[in-house]
Amino acid sequence: MIISVQGLRKAHGARQVLRGIDAFVEKGETIAIVGPSGAGKSTLLRCLNGLNSFDGGSVEVAGISLAPHTSPDAPQLLPLRARVGMVFQGLNLFPHLSVLENLCLAPRQVRREPAVQVEKRARSLLERVGLGDRWQSRPAQLSGGQQQRVAIARALCMQPEVLLLDEPTSSLDPEMRGEVLSVLRDLAGSCTMLVVTHEMTFARGVASRVWVLDEGKLVEDGPPAQVCDNPRSERARSFFGAA
Ligand SMILES: Nc1ncnc2c1ncn2[C@@H]1O[C@H](COP(=O)(O)OP(=O)(O)O)[C@@H](O)[C@H]1O
Ligand SMILES: [Mg+2]
């Protein structure tokens, strides 16, 4: 088990955002996290790499345990961040660096890896996301879909054990969504991925399991065919628009 979450609770001020989440992920799984806006999907991802502290329960990711009320700046989070990659919506590449430099920065500075080794890996990742010839470009010279593919390659360049993606396609035009989703489809299985998404075709076709989050609770957790076509909960049935 690469991720284990038990009784996870989190409030923002007086608002209970996560109300006791129990979930696990096996290595190599692709989890699609769906649910209405405000359900707590982003908060859940942020708790998994310590960007948000939480109030109760336990979180274990890639062999590292997090306790409630751990500050996002706590030193014990550094090894976690090295093992957990994150791609946010509209994520900020460093605008003054080339694509290649964006990929190489963290492995060089955080892990002190030799330049030659990192660059080799970075170039092969750029090939993998279909941008092998754009290594010298600045982010602003790329389309939104290309930037998002660079952001994915950058996260992968740290060789994470887990990759968290928060609505990686939602700010993109439809045609660019396809190119980003196809990169994720190719990655599925090689890296454990949790993807918050509204792309149900992707969830059905690629995910090993679908989680439905609603009002801070995990109301469905199962294979896509079961969760999408035959959900147990009323909330999920209405979310998927089924009768
Ligand atoms: N930093 C924050 N401060 C206060 N409230 C927040 C903060 N982040 C999220 N929330 C609230 O927590 C709830 C869940 O947010 P979020 O996890 O972003 O949901 P989702 O990603 O499913 O749309 C929402 O009601 C949101 O307004
Ligand atoms: Mg969100």
Establish whether residue 34 lines the binding site of ligand 1, counting it when its CB lies within 6 angstroms of any ligand atom: no
Q: How far apart are CA 183 and CA 150, in angstroms?
A: 11
| Selection from 160, 132, 162 nearest residue 149 by Cα | 132
Render the chain in DSSP notation, one character per residue.
--EEEEEEEEEETTEEEEEEEEEEE-TT-EEEEE--TTSSHHHHHHHHTTSS--SEEEEEETTEEE-TT--TT-TTHHHHHHHEEEE-TT----TTS-HHHHHHHHHHHTT---HHHHHHHHHHHHHHTT-GGGTT--GGGS-HHHHHHHHHHHHHHT--SEEEEESTTTTS-HHHHHHHHHHHHHHBTTBEEEEE-S-HHHHHHH-SEEEEEETTEEEEEE-HHHHHHS-SSHHHHHHTT--
Strand partners, 31: 194, 209
Kindly list the protein residues that place their beta carbon closer than 5 angstroms to ligand 2, a single-atom ion. Answer: 41-42
Establish whether residue 12 lines the binding site of ligand 1, counting it when its CB lies within 6 angstroms of any ligand atom: yes
Q: Which residue has a Cα nearest atom 7 of ligand 1?
A: 12
What's the 28 CA to ligand 1 centre distance in angstroms?
28
**Each residue's pLDDT tens digit, 74-100:** 998 989 988 999 998 766 799 999 999
Q: How far apart are CA 102 and CA 8, in angstroms?
A: 34
For range 10-37, the mean pLDDT = 97
Please tell me the pTM assigned to this model.
0.94
Q: Which residue has a Cα nearest atom 1 of ligand 1?
A: 12
Q: Which residue has a Cα nearest atom 24 of ligand 1?
A: 38
Task: Report the interhelical angle of 99-109 vs 115-128 (nearest 10°).
Answer: 130
Question: Going from the N-terminus, what domains does the chain have, and what CATH number goes with each?
Answer: 3-239 (3.40.50.300)
**Each residue's pLDDT tens digit, 196-219:** 999 999 999 999 999 999 999 999
**Each residue's pLDDT tens digit, 148-173:** 999 999 999 999 999 999 999 988 88
Q: How confident is the model at residue 220 (pLDDT cuts 50, 70, 90)?
A: very high
Establish whether residue 42 lines the binding site of ligand 1, counting it when its CB lies within 6 angstroms of any ligand atom: yes
Nearest ligand 1 atom, CA 196 = 21
Structure tokens at 38: 């405000």
